[in-house]
């Protein structure tokens, strides 16, 4: 049973919009792409744990703290007799393992996920013990990407390679016949309550309204859409062929605006400027009136 879901973080959503609308520095862009790739890998793993038949509680995407040290957990699975901790890696390409170090070919050293895993494992154990829970923790790194190859892979069961994932999950299904009870539910509740909501803005570059490209981007490929004319009710993306109702695209753009500028007022003028490709202010005003709450009056009206 899924106890805590995963969703795209505000950080990732913000970086996605900024990436569409400004030139991110190489460092910011690479951070964004890594974050996005990591999230996609985690979602792929979620779709597999979703199909598990054993009775368990799944908590995805946790940020916890023990002894003033924060640690992140991609996926946690509580069964009647154990806790499974998963670190999901969406690495792609050819890698090799040498003297306990992990390299991407030809020779770029990557942080060994086993180090991160044993750190999370230890901190989680201490955290649970501080609340009186003494449950065995089984920790694994899941290499989720089918295009990941690891030469000289260590003979450790902490690493689960792409070709081993299905076998591992099948084995997991067969291991536990007991049902979860109040004790495990209480534990899940405890861990869920300790989850920290992190500041989403620490890795976001600075930006302002004037500097960002205005317009409405395609929902699928993020290409900037061109005006469909006043009578047209749908946008058609010339890049990927997607269609979207104009009102939906405007509502989506208002949410992007809110995400980037939580302190700016949403007004007909600001959204007209933000969307750019909707010529008629009346049309913007109609959409705002129908889908957002209005505050103030006449020319002072704004929306929430």
Q: How far is 204 from 179, CA to CA, in rounded Å?
A: 44
Minimum separation from the CB atom of position 221 to Zn ion (A)? 3
Single residue of 147, 183, 220, 236 touching Zn ion by CB under 5 A: 220
* Strand order across the beta sheet in which 93-98 lies: 108-110, 101-104, 93-98, 148-151
Alpha-carbon gap, residue 174 to 193, rounded angstroms: 30
The residue from 242, 269, 276, 301 that contacts Zn ion (CB under 5 A) is 242
What six digits make up the tokens of 135?
Answer: 């449950």
Q: Where are the alpha helices (H) located in 198-299, listed in sequence order?
A: 246-260, 268-275, 281-291
Binder of Zn ion out of 237, 260, 271, 284 (CB under 5 A): 237
DSSP 5-71: -----HHHHHHHHHHHHS---HHHHHHHHHHHHHHHHHHHHHHHHTT--S--EEEEEEEEEETTEEE
The CA distance from 116 to 38, in Å, is 15
Which residues from 190-219 bind Zn ion, rule CB under 5 A? Answer: 218
Instruction: Report d(CA 55, CA 1) in Å as an integer.
Output: 7
| Least distance CB 242 / Zn ion (angstroms) | 5
Cβ distance to Zn ion smaller for residue 141 or 218? 218
Cβ closer to Zn ion: 122 or 242?
242
- At closest approach, how far in Å is the CB of 219 from Zn ion? 7
From candidates 97, 168, 223, 261, binder to Zn ion by CB under 5 A:
223
Site string for Zn ion, 25-64 (x = CB under 5 A): ----------------------------------------
Cβ-based nearer residue to Zn ion, 221 or 232: 221
Instruction: Please tell me whether residue 226 binds Zn ion under the rule CB under 5 A.
Output: no
The contact set with Zn ion (CB under 5 A) reads 218, 220-221, 223, 237, 239-240, 242
């Amino acid at each position: 049973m899924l106890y805590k879901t995963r969703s795209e973080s505000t950080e990732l959503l913000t970086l996605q919009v900024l990436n569409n609308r400004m030139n991110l520095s190489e460092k910011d862009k690479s951070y964004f792409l890594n974050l996005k790739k990591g999230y996609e890998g985690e979602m792929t793993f979620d779709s597999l744990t979703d199909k598990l038949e054993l009775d368990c509680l799944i908590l995805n995407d946790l940020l916890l703290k023990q002894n003033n040290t924060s640690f992140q957990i991609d996926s946690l699975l509580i069964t009647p007799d154990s806790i499974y901790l998963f670190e999901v890696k969406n690495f792609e390409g050819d890698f090799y393992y040498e003297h306990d170090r992990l390299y991407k070919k030809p020779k770029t050293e990557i942080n060994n996920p086993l180090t991160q895993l044993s750190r999370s494992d230890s901190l989680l154990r201490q955290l649970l013990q501080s609340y009186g829970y003494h449950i065995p923790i089984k920790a694994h790194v899941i290499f989720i990407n089918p295009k990941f190859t690891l030469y000289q892979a260590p003979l450790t069961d902490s690493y689960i390679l792409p070709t081993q994932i299905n076998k591992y999950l099948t084995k997991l299904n067969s291991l536990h016949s007991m049902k979860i009870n109040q004790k495990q539910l209480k534990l899940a509740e405890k861990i869920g309550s300790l989850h920290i909501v992190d500041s989403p803005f620490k890795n976001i570059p600075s930006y302002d309204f004037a500097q960002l490209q205005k317009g409405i981007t395609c929902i699928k490929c993020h290409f900037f859409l061109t005006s469909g004319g006043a009578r047209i009710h749908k946008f058609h993306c010339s890049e990927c062929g997607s269609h979207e109702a104009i009102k939906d695209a405007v509502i989506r753009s208002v949410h992007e605006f809110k995400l980037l500028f939580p302190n700016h007022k949403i007004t007909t003028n600001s959204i007209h400027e933000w969307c750019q490709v909707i010529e008629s202010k009346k049309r913007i005003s109609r959409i705002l009136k129908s889908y957002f709450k209005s505050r103030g009056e006449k020319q002072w009206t704004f929306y929430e």
